[in-house]
Amino acid sequence: MGISTVAMYHCLAFVWYFFVAYSITHVSTEERPSEVFLYGGQWKYLTVLNLVLQAVFYGVSFLADVLRLIKKLRCAKCVISSRDLLFSVLAFPVSTFVCISFWTLYTYNRELVYPKSLDGVIPLWLNHAMHTAVLPFAVLEVLAIPHRYPAKKKGLILLGFVAFLYISWVLWIYSVTGEWVYPLFALFNPAGLAAFFAGSLAVIVSFYSFGEFLNRMIWGQSKFCF
Q: DSSP per residue over 189-213, as a string?
A: -HHHHHHHHHHHHHHHHHHHHHHHH
CA-closest candidate to residue 10, choices 51, 85, 60: 60
8 A C-beta contact, residue 62 and residue 14 = yes
Say how far apart CA 224 and CA 60 lie, in whole Å.
16
Predicted local distance difference test score (pLDDT) of residue 85: 95
- The amino acid sitting at 204 is I
SS3 15: helix
Q: What pLDDT sits at residue 31?
A: 47
Give helix 3-24 / helix 134-144 axis angle, nearest 10°. 160
- Spatial distance between the Cα atoms of 223 and 226, rounded to a whole number of angstroms: 9
What pLDDT, on a 0 to 100 scale, did the predictor assign at position 109?
Answer: 93
Do residues 135 and 100 lie in contact, with contact meaning Cβ atoms separated by under 8 Å?
A: yes
* Dist. CA 135–CA 92, nearest whole Å: 8
Q: What percent of the chain shows pLDDT beyond 70?
A: 92
Task: Tell me if 97 sits within 8 A of 203, measured CB to CB.
Answer: yes
pLDDT at 155: 94
90-107: b (≥16 Cβ within 10 Å) or e: bbbbbbbbbbebbbebee
pTM to 2 decimal places: 0.90
**Contact indicator for 203, 101 with CB cutoff of 8 Å:** yes
Using only C-alpha atoms, the chain has a radius of gyration, in whole angstroms, of: 18
Q: Is 44 helix (H, G, I), strand (E, B) or coil?
A: helix
* pLDDT for res 169: 95
**Could you tell me the mean pLDDT of each successive run of 10 residues in the chain, 226 residues long?**
87 96 76 56 90 96 90 81 95 97 95 87 93 96 93 94 96 91 92 96 96 92 52
Q: What CA–CA distance (Å, rounded) separates 100 from 115?
A: 18
- Residues 6+ away with beta carbon under 8 Å from 174: 180, 181, 185
Note the pLDDT of residue 4. 87
